[in-house]
Chains A and B, each alone.
Chain A
Amino acid sequence: MTTRQFGQPIKRKEDPRLVTGGGRFLDDLGHTAYAAAFVRSPHAHARILDIDVTGALDVPGLIGIWTHEDLPGKVGEPLPLLIPHPSLTAPVTGYCLAPDEVNHVGEAVVMVVAVDRYAAEDACGLVRVDYDVLPPVVGLENARAATDLVHDSAPGNVAAHLVQEVGDVDIAMAAAPNRLTLDLQIERSMCSPMEGKGVYAVWDADDEHLRLWSSTQTTTGVRAAVAAKLDLPLAKVDCIAPDVGGGFGVKIVHPWPEEVLVPWTARLLGHDVKWTEDRREHFVSSAHERGQLQQVEVGFDDDGHVLALDVRLWHDNGAYTPYGIIVPIITSTQLLGPYKPGSYRCEFWSLYTNTVLVTPYRGAGRPQGVYAMERTMDAIAAELGLDRAEVRSRNFILPEEMPYDHGLLFQDGRPLKYDSGDFPASLAKLKALVGWDEFAAYKEQAASEGRRVGLGIGCYVEGTGVGPYEGGHIVIETSGRVNVATGLTTQGQGHQTVFAQIVADELGVPIENVFVTTGDTRRMGYAVGTFASRAAVMSGNAIALAARQVKAKALRIAAEALEVSPEDLEIVGGMVRVKGAPGTSMALGTVAVMSNPLRYAFDEAARAATQFAGGNDPDKPPVAAGEEPGLEGKDFYSPTQATFANGMHAAIVETDPVTAEIRILRYCVVHDCGPMINPMIVEGQVHGGVAQGVGGALYERMVYDESGQLLNASFMDFLMPYASEVPFIETDHLETPSPLNPLGIKGAGEAGCIPVSAVIASAIEDAEGFPIRSMPISPTELWELRQRHTEPVAAQGEPS
């Protein structure tokens, strides 16, 4: 028997190419394409009075300049609202080029195309735009106060307002023996993939066909959006994601203005056009996430059981809402984590500000929700003088309560119903890993040496693998090569490897023979995209189902040839053979030959397949009724609901008693995403997620001034962690299978970053002995908190 590939830490198939410089990222394509660049708004909120391009017209190499007025038909109409929601009562989306008003610094106003980027930027610098500056709305407090409005069509700056309630919170709260209120804050950060966005379009005038490459998380989405905008039949548009240098959410939004304008100009000019986003553009014209104000009121009994949980959230959605209100919906539902409060109400307001739009960033609202819930758990423990892990475990949903229906609607519009998980077992693993019970002694010893250390904990549940569907297509060539295609895209998750592992097992072929293509609409036209930790669950299962079809077909054909029944056959190492009599066998490639009766021969394999090759039954058609030529299969996986992964993290931090520097001494992760297809890759996802979480907890924030300028729009000033800032991450896994899908798997992509802010806040609170209510936290902020807590009288008199 060949070893099962599922579950093995197999080296990635994509790596030899990527480590030798053979990657093909967006800007690696189209060296002779014209380059696009954009004049972007320098103001957060302004009316455009006049645009004068005359100064730019003599720039050598200039090809064309366009403003909103020049955009015909649908190209000039607002960008689509991708995910409407009944509570999103004032949706506003932007335009490809701003018509008369700009709503954030960085919004595209003028497009320039030139022979290269240097010339295009020269021209941009010579375009004059006159603005009438309007009062900007920056920050959630100002949005909420609504003294000024971002959009006249959104009174109170409110895009959406939603309340979900389970049980009667008011009654339960009134009856609760203990009550606490927490005011919490979490700041903005951003995905910041190392490769920004980018689009490259080739218009084939002879064929009237558009071929489009985008650094995107959804090629089917971009294809459909661009076809609609340019009034092209879908059949005349292909979209391909080349190698993508990270996504983390920002590249799921589509179409970005550039994704419409670049192909539009390519068709207009009859010449390839490319746009590669630069780093500053990525900061000011892509998307951010996380910023929320939260108010939690909790009622609990003397044992720490939560009886009533009443949460209010103010979510900053930036200037536009093209991606709907997915983020606050996820916060408000996934906040519950592994717990079952007696009653729960969450009310949120999604508010406009004159800042870059807010769309999902890895974790997509969960880090904020977990932060709110876990700060609350710590507050309950502190109030009652109980162990923090114990309070959590008293509120856990137990394994025997699975499936557990919270009675709420999740982001996919379906019930929030957990399918699996063993939270007490996860907690036990985490406590063992971090040495929970020994920590008090360690802390005491550290204190005796003049050191301050603290232990923090955070638990989360993550809905992964949301629908509606993904597909898998497999075709086996006569050489035995297995071509696999799925429509969703890849940004570093190792799909070429993990999907090949699944196919190798299902079909019984060597993994070296399996070649996976993702994100190419020429190979799979039906797909949704890569987000919500869904790729392995959705495409993995679809591909497994497709492989089962191909296998059944191969066995049918081989059974006939070998004159046995299909049940007596197995496929091992790419050979179909009779069970117990491996001498009687034929290669899968040969089965592929037989599956496709030919008239013309052009090589050895084809000669064997011609209808003159002999051995055919003259009474039967060459292709049997109900069969299709080719050893090929296609299937889709469409689940009734998401599957829920979970995890628990703990950290030990040390805070410098003098400088308030914060150092993470240990970081421990227990993670349950069900059976792991490739544990090495899952581990890598966890590491990367934790690193982003650490960035969000201690370093990263989007610093807007009151006029709406993003002050830290460079890697110089936006402090993304280097290796020196990321702790060594210790991991342990639990593999509770999901009952919902054929492979029993759950998603893993986002997990690592979800609880980190909660964990670090918890640990700093433990080290310092006062509550942490705002994240991220810098040494300066911690130092100021210390002043406030050690000198309460003096602090009260000072302006905050």
Chain B
Amino acid sequence: MTGPDVPEPLHEVTVSVNGVRHTATVPARRLLSDFLRHDLALTGTHVGCEHGVCGACTILVDGAPMRSCLMFAVQARAHELTTVEGLGTIDAMGPVQQAFSECHGLQCGFCTPGFITTITAYLEENPDPTAEEARDAISGNLCRCTGYQNIVKSVLRAAEIRASADLGAPPLIDADARAGEAPP
């Protein structure tokens, strides 16, 4: 162990983020979330709890959703990372991003990047979910603004957009993205 007055040893980390290789020198305890946000200035990945519960920091590690607040930057060596910035741009939004915008799937937008990465990975495996499955798929992420209903709707809409080669052509789905019980 090093004492409080001894500088920490540094480690060189090379990672690929959104297809771009980055090399940086960081202490072993540097969280991957802090590395992305402050060393690489990719601030789309948000930190809501720093203890792995809220999902705001979710990124894709080799395509699989992971909580970047629970990983050290040095653990990301040699992995392919994708953050929300890698899933589309203002002028060319990805299907999940487009669906969130169409369905009012966000209010403050703080939780949104974590949902978008999570849903992107989910739809890769489950391209045609039911409303109930969609609700299940997002049940590991916290949002304090939306009440989730329009996020469920966004998942279904994103699936629709992905399925359609012609982006934006299908009409907006009805509000019956309902995951509740049938009325009595």
Task: Tell me, in angstroms, the Cα distance from A98 to B73 when the chains sit together.
Answer: 37
Q: Are B51 and A12 in contact (CB under 8 A)?
A: no
Which one, A25-33, A398-406, A555-563, is touching chain B? A25-33
Q: Are A722 and B139 in contact (CB under 8 A)?
A: yes
> How far in angstroms is the closest Cβ of chain B from A584?
37
Residue from A24, A279, A652 within 8 A of B184 (CB atoms): A652
Task: Tell me, in angstroms, the Cα distance from A439 to B116 when the chains sit together.
Answer: 39
Q: Are A245 and B51 in contact (CB under 8 A)?
A: no
Q: Are A279 and B50 in contact (CB under 8 A)?
A: yes
Q: Are B139 and A17 in contact (CB under 8 A)?
A: no
Q: Are A20 and B102 in contact (CB under 8 A)?
A: no
Query: Is B4 an interface residue, CB under 8 A from the partner?
Result: yes
Q: Are A726 and B147 in contact (CB under 8 A)?
A: yes
Mark out the residues of chain B between 124 and 145 whose CB falls within 8 Å of any chain A CB in the assembled complex.
135-136, 138-145
Q: Are A492 and B108 in contact (CB under 8 A)?
A: yes
For the residues of B in contact with A, the DSSP-based class is loop
Q: Are B46 and A19 in contact (CB under 8 A)?
A: no
> How far in angstroms is the closest Cβ of chain B from A600?
35
Task: Tell me, in angstroms, the Cα distance from A681 to B106 when the chains sit together.
Answer: 10
Task: Tell me, in angstroms, the Cα distance from A729 to B151 when the chains sit together.
Answer: 13
Q: Are B101 and A12 in contact (CB under 8 A)?
A: yes
Query: Is B84 an interface residue, CB under 8 A from the partner?
Result: yes
- Which residues on A sit within 8 Å (CB–CB) of B100? 15, 19
> How far in angstroms is the closest Cβ of chain B from A102?
25
The digit string for A211-238, where 1 denotes a CB below 8 A from any CB of B, is 0000000000000000000000000000
> How far in angstroms is the closest Cβ of chain B from A400?
34
Which one, A80-88, A538-546, A624-632, A687-695, is touching chain B? A687-695
Please give me the residue from chain B that is nearest to A442 by CB atom: B184
Residue from A21, A194, A279, A688 within 8 A of B44 (CB atoms): A21
Which one, A422-430, A713-721, A762-770, is touching chain B? A713-721
Mark out the residues of chain A between 647 and 693 whose CB falls within 8 Å of any chain B CB in the assembled complex.
652, 665-667, 680-681, 683-692
Residue in B53, B56, B136 with the greatest tally of chain A CB atoms within 10 Å = B53
16 contacts between A and B (CB under 8 A): A16-B97, A16-B101, A17-B90, A22-B90, A27-B43, A60-B6, A194-B56, A194-B145, A248-B144, A494-B107, A666-B184, A687-B150, A715-B53, A720-B142, A723-B179, A728-B149
Q: Are B146 and A688 in contact (CB under 8 A)?
A: yes
Task: Tell me, in angstroms, the Cα distance from A689 to B147 when the chains sit together.
Answer: 7
5 extra A-B contacts, CB within 8 A, seeds A438-B184, A446-B184, A681-B104: A16-B101, A19-B97, A20-B88, A715-B51, A720-B142
Residue from A15, A20, A243, A715 within 8 A of B54 (CB atoms): A715
> How far in angstroms is the closest Cβ of chain A from B39?
8
Q: Are A18 and B138 in contact (CB under 8 A)?
A: no
Task: Tell me, in angstroms, the Cα distance from A407 to B144 when the chains sit together.
Answer: 37
Residue from A21, A442, A652, A681 within 8 A of B84 (CB atoms): A21
> How far in angstroms is the closest Cβ of chain A from B171?
14
Query: Is A582 an interface residue, CB under 8 A from the partner?
Result: no
Query: Is A195 an interface residue, CB under 8 A from the partner?
Result: yes
Mark out the residues of chain A between 42 and 92 whose CB falls within 8 Å of any chain B CB in the assembled complex.
55-56, 58-60
Q: Are A18 and B135 in contact (CB under 8 A)?
A: no
Mark out the residues of chain A between 429 and 473 whose CB falls within 8 Å of any chain B CB in the assembled complex.
435, 438-439, 442, 446, 453
- Which residues on B sit within 8 Å (CB–CB) of A492? 106-109, 145
Task: Decide yes or no: A21 and B140 within 8 Å by CB, A492-B145, A665-B181 being known contacts.
Answer: no
Task: Tell me, in angstroms, the Cα distance from A714 to B136 when the chains sit together.
Answer: 23
> How far in angstroms is the closest Cβ of chain A from B178?
4
The digit string for B160-179, where 1 denotes a CB below 8 A from any CB of A, is 00000000000000000011
Please give me the residue from chain A that is nearest to B180 by CB atom: A728
Task: Decide yes or no: A245 and B4 within 8 Å by CB, A439-B184, A722-B141 being known contacts.
Answer: no
The digit string for B43-61, where 1 denotes a CB below 8 A from any CB of A, is 1111111110110100000
> How far in angstroms is the closest Cβ of chain A from B95?
11
Mark out the residues of chain B between 98 and 117 whose CB falls within 8 Å of any chain A CB in the assembled complex.
98, 100-102, 104, 106-113, 116
Q: Are B148 and A726 in contact (CB under 8 A)?
A: yes
- Which residues on A sit within 8 Å (CB–CB) of B48? 194-195, 245, 279, 715
- Which residues on A sit within 8 Å (CB–CB) of B183? 435, 666
Please give me the residue from chain B that is nearest to A689 by CB atom: B147
Q: Are B135 and A724 in contact (CB under 8 A)?
A: yes
Task: Tell me, in angstroms, the Cα distance from A554 to B149 when the chains sit together.
Answer: 44
Number of interface residues of A (CB under 8 A): 76
Task: Tell me, in angstroms, the Cα distance from A746 to B181 when the chains sit together.
Answer: 32
- Which residues on A sit within 8 Å (CB–CB) of B93? 16, 19-20
- Which residues on A sit within 8 Å (CB–CB) of B29? 118
Q: Are A19 and B4 in contact (CB under 8 A)?
A: no
- Which residues on B sit within 8 Å (CB–CB) of A192? 144
Query: Is B152 an interface residue, CB under 8 A from the partner?
Result: yes
Q: Are A19 and B138 in contact (CB under 8 A)?
A: no
Residue from B47, B88, B106 within 8 A of A18 (CB atoms): B106
Q: Are B51 and A279 in contact (CB under 8 A)?
A: yes
Task: Tell me, in angstroms, the Cα distance from A691 to B147 when the chains sit together.
Answer: 5
Query: Is A122 an interface residue, CB under 8 A from the partner?
Result: yes
Q: Are A727 and B180 in contact (CB under 8 A)?
A: yes
Q: Identify the A interface with B (CB < 8 A).
A: 11-12, 14-25, 27-28, 31, 55-56, 58-60, 116, 118, 122, 126, 191-195, 243-246, 248, 278-279, 435, 438-439, 442, 446, 453, 491-494, 652, 665-667, 680-681, 683-692, 714-716, 720, 722-724, 726-729, 752
- Which residues on B sit within 8 Å (CB–CB) of A727? 180
Residue from A60, A248, A692, A714 within 8 A of B49 (CB atoms): A714
- Which residues on B sit within 8 Å (CB–CB) of A716? 51, 53
Q: Are B6 and A19 in contact (CB under 8 A)?
A: no
Residue in B47, B93, B107 with the greatest tally of chain A CB atoms within 10 Å = B107
Task: Decide yes or no: A666 and B109 within 8 Å by CB, A11-B101, A19-B116, A722-B141 being known contacts.
Answer: no
Residue from A122, A667, A683 within 8 A of B4 (CB atoms): A122
Task: Tell me, in angstroms, the Cα distance from A497 to B117 when the chains sit together.
Answer: 25
Residue in B98, B147, B151, B152 with the greatest tally of chain A CB atoms within 10 Å = B147
Q: Are A19 and B109 in contact (CB under 8 A)?
A: yes
> How far in angstroms is the closest Cβ of chain A from B176?
9
Task: Tell me, in angstroms, the Cα distance from A56 to B3 when the chains sit together.
Answer: 11
- Which residues on A sit within 8 Å (CB–CB) of B152? 723
Q: Are B138 and A723 in contact (CB under 8 A)?
A: yes
Please give me the residue from chain B that is nearest to A59 by CB atom: B4
- Which residues on A sit within 8 Å (CB–CB) of B151? 723
- Which residues on B sit within 8 Å (CB–CB) of A692? 144, 147
Task: Tell me, in angstroms, the Cα distance from A15 to B102 when the chains sit together.
Answer: 9
Task: Decide yes or no: A193 and B49 within 8 Å by CB, A20-B88, A20-B89, A118-B29 being known contacts.
Answer: no
> How far in angstroms is the closest Cβ of chain A from B80?
17
- Which residues on B sit within 8 Å (CB–CB) of A278? 50
Task: Tell me, in angstroms, the Cα distance from A405 to B104 when the chains sit together.
Answer: 38
Residue from B84, B97, B143, B147 within 8 A of A194 (CB atoms): B143
Query: Is B1 an interface residue, CB under 8 A from the partner?
Result: no
Task: Tell me, in angstroms, the Cα distance from A723 to B149 when the chains sit together.
Answer: 8
Q: Are B106 and A21 in contact (CB under 8 A)?
A: no
Q: Are B104 and A12 in contact (CB under 8 A)?
A: yes
Query: Is B41 an interface residue, CB under 8 A from the partner?
Result: yes
> How far in angstroms is the closest Cβ of chain B from A655?
14
Q: Are A27 and B90 in contact (CB under 8 A)?
A: no
Task: Tell me, in angstroms, the Cα distance from A126 to B181 when the chains sit together.
Answer: 54
- Which residues on B sit within 8 Å (CB–CB) of A453? 184
Q: Are A245 and B109 in contact (CB under 8 A)?
A: yes
Q: Are A246 and B108 in contact (CB under 8 A)?
A: yes
- Which residues on B sit within 8 Å (CB–CB) of A279? 48-51
Q: Are A688 and B4 in contact (CB under 8 A)?
A: no
- Which residues on A sit within 8 Å (CB–CB) of B38? 31, 116
Q: Are A723 and B144 in contact (CB under 8 A)?
A: no
Query: Is B121 an interface residue, CB under 8 A from the partner?
Result: no
Query: Is B13 an interface residue, CB under 8 A from the partner?
Result: no
- Which residues on B sit within 8 Å (CB–CB) of A14? 109
Q: Are A195 and B108 in contact (CB under 8 A)?
A: yes
- Which residues on A sit within 8 Å (CB–CB) of B139? 722-724
Task: Tell me, in angstroms, the Cα distance from A17 to B101 when the chains sit together.
Answer: 10
Task: Tell me, in angstroms, the Cα distance from A491 to B144 when the chains sit together.
Answer: 11
- Which residues on A sit within 8 Å (CB–CB) of B44? 20-23
